[in-house]
Structure 1
Amino acid sequence: MPKHIGIILFLKAAMLSISLGDGILEYVNVLAGTSNSYELSTGGETPLMGRPFGFNHWSVQTQPDTQGSRYFDPSSRSFYGVRCTHQPSVWIGDYGYFLVNALVSPQAFDRSQTSVSFAPLQTTYKPHYFKSSALLPDFKASAMGGVRMEMTPTEHAAFFRFSFPPGMNSRVLVRIVDGNSSTPVVLGKDGNFATRTSVNNGGVPHGFAMFIRGVVDPAPSRMHNLDGSIALDYDTTENSDRLTVHLRVATSFISDEQAQSNLDRELPPCKAFDSVVMEGEAIWRDRLSVIRFAGTKQSSRFLRIFYTNFYRTQLFPRLLGEYDGQDQVVHYSPYNGRVMPGELSTDSGFWDAYRTVYLWISFVAPDILDRLLEGWVNAYKEAGWLPTWASPGQRGSMVGTMGDVVFAWAIVANKSSHLAEEMYAAIRRDAFEEPSAGSLYGRQGLQGYAQHGFMAAHGGLSEVVSRGLNYAFADSTIAAAATVLGHHSDAEILRKRAEKALEKSFNPQNKLFEPLDTHGKWLKMNPTSWSDAYFTEASALQYRFYAPANTDFLVSKYGGKDALCGQIEEHFTKQVTPVYTADGRGVIHEETEMSLTSEDFGQYGHNNQPSHHVLGVAVAAGCFTVADKYMERVLRELYSPEGWPGDEDNGEMAAWFMLNAGLGLYEIDFGADELLIFSPLIRGDFSIALPGEGRLLRVENVRRDGCSATTPSPYVCEVHWYPSSPMESTEDNASSAFDSSVPYGVSAHGSIRGGWPRRPISRESDAHIVLSDRRLARSELSKGGRLLFYTSSTPCE
């Protein structure tokens, strides 16, 4: 392609992307996945507002405190306030939370009044902004209307703007849920205050607290200490105009003084509310603009699903770093109770996240990936073990040490290479040292697993089949990392151990992974049983292909590629009755959710993670037609602008969508330099900026069958890879090749990579590779280039 034509096409694509970028946040549905019950989940979410991967999130509480972690119902008209929250999951719970509300009353305030009524349909939720324009006392509005509340968050703080009606007593309430008469409170001059909360659900040491500093403007008529809560009262009964009140409130896990420092740094008096809103909007828009569409117009529905999922992938894991007086990042450690240097990562479970979260972040937020890996290394150093589920410290939920997979992947993929030996030390301890009985860390039953190759049922541990398969998967990935670092003895031991575990646990007669007793004899088992004695949140049918690091093993055990492909097809089509067997322990929501889709998807349960590798296994085994058909259906039928088929789980299910629908790339063997290829759902073509100057990945989807762009084309006929090669800059200063007016990183607020290129500074190589095996080396992709798909609405010959 002539150079000048390439530049024109690139600029044309950039202009198309700018028009979308200007309104990109309008496609994000913050309320997606928030309509839930114990019996059924559409995401298990609460509406979260904050900065990407922020120290705090801010949500809305519509339920009384007695409802615990299920504090939000989108249909409720009760408003208990905007909640500063750190809750990653309703199943894990919250910590360090408090509420901010605005109250009005024609009489003196009742001390017990903490909630008002509001109109959900007149409320605005955006990642960077909240507004409720109809906070009404008992549904009754004065002639001037009810209270108007707005909120915009920063990393460690939030800015509120209230508008109170005249003729009423007005109150801003900062409510400490666990407050009492001994809660330290400071009521200063000119509307300054300090308080704290120690509320948590575990995972914290003695002395844990969230420190809160705030200031209101104008100063209130009266300030009250209500058992740790702060009431800021204004006498507006004689006012003829509305009263505007600004509240700046900041937090810290370190100290009261640090909370004040965070307030001064992020919300100084000179900073206007609207400027903070615009700053937050720019940061979110820049994060979500990493992928740029060009050419064919995407449907509004697709864009709403796409950007809602993208937003969810930018919330967790949480980074708990704070800046000290020397502008160095420090953090409070929930593992030792001390202030420690560097980042700290939390509020994520590796059992979920290892599958998709870190790969996706490596594409769209590599700066964040570096910080997250540092934060998890620090967690290991402070705890002595790598956490499995942290919130804020170790909670010990789920089985397996799947953080091993993330660290091993980072080593193999050369992410944060300066941390490689520390990451390896963490995962090596998991692999070779059994923790004490009852410990929340490490691998329980490790010695028996290492000796026999399986976890024996009824030996004191639950979920033994899933547990053993997770250990084997982690071992396989750690072996790859050990090889990279030259620890060949470790690699050999772990590789053999992983192979032995698969061999021992697979029943060749039933072609399922099944439990064994202490003598290595197969136990009788109902394959539809969801008994947690054997499996984690699934049955043997969902775990039947759980050997993602060794698809050759599955091909062999199922009698060849064609036989395995047939079994995967049957997995999606065979009507098993009953769909599940609860075995007397009660039905969990994952069972109900899967039963709702079983007519269309058989025993494939996309509502939960144990099924998320299946289509990747299909591609790795060469079952391309089966993989393409069901990938398209899963993406189109099980994701919607309103939510997910089950718990979204801290970005894991959203990242699954983004990788497959957005990039057409997926990974199941994290110890291999290998990405699997699917047909992306995006029409036409798009680009994603990669780390490194001028590196772009362009993905182009070309229809081979002549059908319109609106007709689904899931089947991949051919994939061509055109690698990029460097092109010399024509400018003296290479950085001038970037235009910060077309941002894709946090350009105006701490640049990640400097903006999209004004002109290409890399070019496509004339040579290209036909990826007939639907695999692309991760290391090759990182250099940039173009993936050209030829797709069809019917299976390709």
Structure 2
Amino acid sequence: MAVSDALPLKAFAKSTAASASDVTKYVKIAIGTGGHGHTYPGATVPWGAVQLSPDTGVKGWDHCSGYHWDDKTILGFSHTHLSGTGAADLLDFLVVPRVGAVKLAPSEYQQSFSHDEEVSRPGYYSVKLKDSGIFAELSATERCGVHRYTFPESKSATIMLDMTHLIEGNPQKVNWAKVKVEGHRMVTGGRSTQLWSPGREIYFAMEFSRPADSIQIFADDKPVQGETSNEPRLKVVAHFHTTAGEKILVKTGISGISTEGALANLKAEVPHWDFDTVQHKAHQAWQEALGAIQVETENTRHKEIFYTGLYHTMLAPTLFDDVTGKYAGMDGKVHDLPAGLHNYSTFSLWDTYRALHPLYTLIAPEKVPDLVNCLIREAEQSPGGVPIWPLQQKETFCMVGYHSAPVVAEALVKGFQGIDAKAAYKVFRKRAMVDDYRGLGAYRKYGYIPCDVEEENASKTMDYAYDDSAVAAIAKAAGEQQESEQLHKRSKNYRNLYDKETGFIRPKYTDGHWAGPFAPNAISVSRKWRDYTESNAWVTTFSVQHDPNGLAELMGGKQALEKKLDDLFSADSTQPPDMPPDVAGLVGQYAHGNEPSHHIAYLYNYAGVPEKAQKRLRSLMETMYDNKPNGMQGNEDCGQMSAWYVLSALGIYPVDPVSATWDVGTPLFDRATLEVGNGKTLTIETKRSSADAAIVKSVTFNGEKHEGLTFEHAALAKGGKIVFEMV
């Protein structure tokens, strides 16, 4: 069943009537909820702290978001979710509406549902729970989730809050929990969990639209006397007598600081009981955010993939502060934000520095300084140093490199104001020049990370070389020219792992000899541990985003680079048995489902054969994405998979975001109009000789012929018109 049929956009309420220019109607949120996309279908607002969504399962890799399209039952509706990650956490404060005897075990309280009775659109989700006959509707504000449950007539209706619910289904991972029943309409509390984000804390204030007949606390599934409990494994059951068609609303504020903060968020954002107003405002927020790009095409499938992708690019990073301006810092302390700024969580930086953050510099420039300043604050406060993969103010240390550096560097190079370059350089200099972090000491000593010293050594060497380039740019912005030049020189360290005999980046021992026997598709060559990160020599050899011309020279010239790219895309796709499942979407040894491959097709530009880039890019756009639940190769990864499609479909992509240039690709649409800030628009018009024409014959910019295969960001940010002539 196609996603466009499976999740129909049923008639909007009058308050959310879709206008002709409302592109939210093209968002098919089910895309990515099947296969290995790991996305969720529930309600949120752009970059919102709350992601109120159904959970269908908590065990197994494909439940990283709590939901999978193939499941037939729903456990309930929790308030926090990750979009498309390959690791799992969150799923806080599960709400379970039921009728009948109280059931405390997930295997007993889960309820069947059908996709035919499920509606998902930006800012709204609904489903009919078959076992109870309850109609569930969800919407959200920035920091609050709002539920509306329509009950049948029943003397045994319940709304349960399961505080033990979390990914992996192991309640022992709850460090502590507490709840307080405040009268017959309010429950407050919080918990700490020990999963991917170790020791994170989250608090809530939950209110019912009418008094419950009674509210009962359970600890370890046994009744607890009184109105409070601090046991780690808690559940709260509110009992109601309902009439047929009675609607009971639940609204929940969350906070990373305290129940008082959660209550303040609730009172500020949802002081009423008007569900339709909440969903109308959520819809308006999405209409405005997604309307930043208007595309024109007769191909509805392309539009659906594009706008769903654009939607996915706005699900992370997520807001993580209170309306009071307070936030939980990476140091475990409560801080006050500078006026006008926000705090954020969920930075999937190893993925998103590549295309997601560059996309923001073009269509959401007002957010860029806020996000970058957040990263700098986190670096200053975190015991772990500069951000790697921060989640709810704890560092997960997930993935290699320290790719908050290119996000900060890109913003500085592109001239964004309100960012303290000297403060940024102070924290990133420490990581680059001082810290012995995951092989950095060896990297500085040898010019590469030996495979007998550190795991994932080849990938770490390449990522540190790229981060050197980024920190060099930060140093330059801070006025540290000498150290900038030193770091720029060090960014060429990738050359130290290039084996001219085999033509690959490969692991090397401390004494300088190559690890072997060598197989370019292997993730482990040294046999001691993995030498590459979710990758192998085929892909890692092209991980030179900051110096593609230098890579071509190293290989023997542009023709050698072209041949190596041809070989990559035509190689046998066989992967070793220890390759992670993230490595998906294979074309030869190119793996579109994993981020290190994302810039590679554009390297044909640097080989002097842009037509090969354009043919390959058009093929990837057509084959790696679809408008179905399993229409995504690999994990969505907090918007990076989608950002690749959004930018590539527009005809531009940043091979090196820190360079402040955009590489020319092949536009998919007849016309695209981008709002680039300050009332300016950038129009990209495509004139084709035929519908499937993918080769760029010529380009004009503001009426003048455009030479070369890049655009300067500063030029595009001023607005204007690009015209592609395609054959």
Alpha-carbon distance in 2 for matches of 1:251, 1:132: 23
What is the Cα-based RMSD across aligned positions, in Å? Answer: 2.3
The answer to whether the aligner puts 1:333 opposite 2:329 as a matched pair is: yes
Partner residue in 2 for 1:186: 180
Alpha-carbon distance in 1 for matches of 2:177, 2:534: 41
Using the TM superposition, give the Cα deviation of residue 462 of structure 1 relative to its aligned residue in structure 2, in angstroms.
Answer: 0.7
State the SS of the aligned residue for 2:94.
Answer: strand
State the SS of the aligned residue for 1:73.
Answer: coil
Alpha-carbon distance in 2 for matches of 1:607, 1:174: 36
Using the TM superposition, give the Cα deviation of residue 569 of structure 1 relative to its aligned residue in structure 2, in angstroms.
Answer: 2.3
The answer to whether the aligner puts 1:157 opposite 2:144 as a matched pair is: yes
The 1:590–1:273 alpha-carbon spacing in structure 2 relative to 1, beyond 3 Å, is: closer
Partner residue in 2 for 1:310: 310
The answer to whether the aligner puts 1:771 opposite 2:711 as a matched pair is: no
State the SS of the aligned residue for 2:538.
Answer: coil
| 1:200-220: CA deviation from partner (whole Å, max 9, x where unpaired) | 415355xx5322212212212
* 8 Å contact from structure 1 (residues 33, 644) kept in 2: yes
The answer to whether the aligner puts 1:628 opposite 2:631 as a matched pair is: no
* 8 Å contact from structure 2 (residues 558, 606) kept in 1: no
Aligned residue among 480, 486, 490 for 1:487: 480
* 8 Å contact from structure 1 (residues 96, 197) kept in 2: no
Larger Rg: 1
Which runs of 5 or more structure 2 residues have no equivalent in the other structure?
Answer: 1-17, 166-170, 220-233
Matches within 5 A, 1:280-319: 280-294=282-296, 297-319=297-319
State the SS of the aligned residue for 1:150.
Answer: strand
Alpha-carbon distance in 2 for matches of 1:611, 1:114: 43
Partner residue in 2 for 1:698: 683
The answer to whether the aligner puts 1:360 opposite 2:359 as a matched pair is: yes
1:555 maps to a residue whose letter is: A
Partner residue in 2 for 1:686: 672
Aligned residue among 192, 200, 211 for 1:198: 192
* 8 Å contact from structure 1 (residues 473, 548) kept in 2: yes
Partner residue in 2 for 1:740: none
Using the TM superposition, give the Cα deviation of residue 339 of structure 1 relative to its aligned residue in structure 2, in angstroms.
Answer: 3.6
Partner residue in 2 for 1:746: none
The 1:20–1:554 alpha-carbon spacing in structure 2 relative to 1, beyond 3 Å, is: farther
Partner residue in 1 for 2:448: 454
* 8 Å contact from structure 2 (residues 701, 720) kept in 1: yes
Using the TM superposition, give the Cα deviation of residue 287 of structure 1 relative to its aligned residue in structure 2, in angstroms.
Answer: 0.6
Using the TM superposition, give the Cα deviation of residue 678 of structure 1 relative to its aligned residue in structure 2, in angstroms.
Answer: 1.3
Aligned residue among 536, 539, 547 for 2:536: 539
1:479 maps to a residue whose letter is: A
* 8 Å contact from structure 2 (residues 51, 145) kept in 1: no
Partner residue in 1 for 2:598: 612
Partner residue in 2 for 1:101: 96
* 8 Å contact from structure 1 (residues 173, 229) kept in 2: yes
State the SS of the aligned residue for 2:419.
Answer: helix
The 1:372–1:426 alpha-carbon spacing in structure 2 relative to 1, beyond 3 Å, is: same
The 1:182–1:498 alpha-carbon spacing in structure 2 relative to 1, beyond 3 Å, is: closer
The 1:330–1:502 alpha-carbon spacing in structure 2 relative to 1, beyond 3 Å, is: same
Alpha-carbon distance in 2 for matches of 1:181, 1:426: 31
Using the TM superposition, give the Cα deviation of residue 631 of structure 1 relative to its aligned residue in structure 2, in angstroms.
Answer: 0.5
* 8 Å contact from structure 2 (residues 602, 665) kept in 1: no
The answer to whether the aligner puts 1:396 opposite 2:388 as a matched pair is: no
State the SS of the aligned residue for 1:220.
Answer: coil
* 8 Å contact from structure 1 (residues 48, 59) kept in 2: yes
Using the TM superposition, give the Cα deviation of residue 49 of structure 1 relative to its aligned residue in structure 2, in angstroms.
Answer: 2.4
Matches within 5 A, 1:492-571: 492-499=485-492, 501-524=493-516, 525-531=518-524, 533-571=530-568
| 1:634-674: CA deviation from partner (whole Å, max 9, x where unpaired) | 0111111122111111111110111111x211112233232
The 1:69–1:503 alpha-carbon spacing in structure 2 relative to 1, beyond 3 Å, is: closer
Alpha-carbon distance in 1 for matches of 2:494, 2:182: 65
* 8 Å contact from structure 1 (residues 479, 491) kept in 2: yes
Moved more, 621-630 or 412-421: 412-421
Alpha-carbon distance in 1 for matches of 2:480, 2:636: 37
1:212 maps to a residue whose letter is: F
The answer to whether the aligner puts 1:646 opposite 2:649 as a matched pair is: no
Partner residue in 1 for 2:240: 234
Q: Name the TM-score, length of structure 1 as normaliser.
A: 0.81
The 1:397–1:26 alpha-carbon spacing in structure 2 relative to 1, beyond 3 Å, is: same
| 1:133-164: CA deviation from partner (whole Å, max 9, x where unpaired) | 34423xxxxxxxx1111111111111111111
Partner residue in 1 for 2:348: 349
| 1:355-378: CA deviation from partner (whole Å, max 9, x where unpaired) | 111101122222222221122122
User: Structure 1 vs Structure 2: percent identity of aligned residues?
Assistant: 23
The answer to whether the aligner puts 1:245 opposite 2:248 as a matched pair is: yes
| 1:409-442: CA deviation from partner (whole Å, max 9, x where unpaired) | 111111244332222222212210123xxxxxxx
Using the TM superposition, give the Cα deviation of residue 181 of structure 1 relative to its aligned residue in structure 2, in angstroms.
Answer: 13
1:233 maps to a residue whose letter is: H
State the SS of the aligned residue for 1:542.
Answer: helix
| 1:324-372: CA deviation from partner (whole Å, max 9, x where unpaired) | 1xxxx22112432434435332212211111111101122222222221
The 1:62–1:267 alpha-carbon spacing in structure 2 relative to 1, beyond 3 Å, is: same
Alpha-carbon distance in 2 for matches of 1:389, 1:415: 23
Partner residue in 2 for 1:475: 468
2:717 maps to a residue whose letter is: S
Alpha-carbon distance in 1 for matches of 2:694, 2:85: 35
* 8 Å contact from structure 1 (residues 719, 770) kept in 2: yes
Aligned residue among 210, 214, 221 for 2:206: 214
Alpha-carbon distance in 1 for matches of 2:176, 2:329: 25
2:615 maps to a residue whose letter is: K
Partner residue in 2 for 1:758: none
Partner residue in 2 for 1:730: none
Using the TM superposition, give the Cα deviation of residue 72 of structure 1 relative to its aligned residue in structure 2, in angstroms.
Answer: 2.1
Which runs of 5 or more structure 1 residues have no equivalent in the other structure?
Answer: 1-17, 138-145, 436-442, 723-767, 793-797
Using the TM superposition, give the Cα deviation of residue 90 of structure 1 relative to its aligned residue in structure 2, in angstroms.
Answer: 5.1
* 8 Å contact from structure 2 (residues 451, 531) kept in 1: yes
| 1:109-137: CA deviation from partner (whole Å, max 9, x where unpaired) | 34545322222320112231111134423
Alpha-carbon distance in 2 for matches of 1:590, 1:118: 29
Alpha-carbon distance in 2 for matches of 1:64, 1:317: 23
* 8 Å contact from structure 2 (residues 317, 344) kept in 1: yes
Partner residue in 1 for 2:226: none
Moved more, 557-566 or 346-355: 557-566
Partner residue in 2 for 1:714: 694
Alpha-carbon distance in 2 for matches of 1:184, 1:476: 47
Partner residue in 1 for 2:227: none
State the SS of the aligned residue for 2:303.
Answer: helix
Partner residue in 2 for 1:412: 413
Alpha-carbon distance in 2 for matches of 1:354, 1:631: 20
| 1:381-406: CA deviation from partner (whole Å, max 9, x where unpaired) | 21151111112211111111121111
State the SS of the aligned residue for 2:643.
Answer: helix
* 8 Å contact from structure 2 (residues 255, 321) kept in 1: no
The 1:522–1:150 alpha-carbon spacing in structure 2 relative to 1, beyond 3 Å, is: same
Moved more, 164-173 or 110-119: 110-119
2:202 maps to a residue whose letter is: M
| 1:582-629: CA deviation from partner (whole Å, max 9, x where unpaired) | 4xxx342135x35xx4xxx22211111121121222223432011111
Alpha-carbon distance in 2 for matches of 1:89, 1:331: 25
Using the TM superposition, give the Cα deviation of residue 65 of structure 1 relative to its aligned residue in structure 2, in angstroms.
Answer: 6.8
1:388 maps to a residue whose letter is: I
State the SS of the aligned residue for 2:491.
Answer: helix
Matches within 5 A, 1:25-174: 25-36=24-35, 41=36, 43-63=37-57, 69=64, 71-88=66-83, 91-95=86-90, 97-105=92-100, 108-112=101-105, 113-137=108-132, 146-174=133-161
The 1:75–1:202 alpha-carbon spacing in structure 2 relative to 1, beyond 3 Å, is: closer
* 8 Å contact from structure 1 (residues 96, 198) kept in 2: no
Matches within 5 A, 1:237-276: 239=243, 241-269=244-272, 271-276=273-278
* 8 Å contact from structure 1 (residues 194, 212) kept in 2: yes
Matches within 5 A, 1:577-596: 579-582=574-577, 586-591=578-583, 593-594=584-585
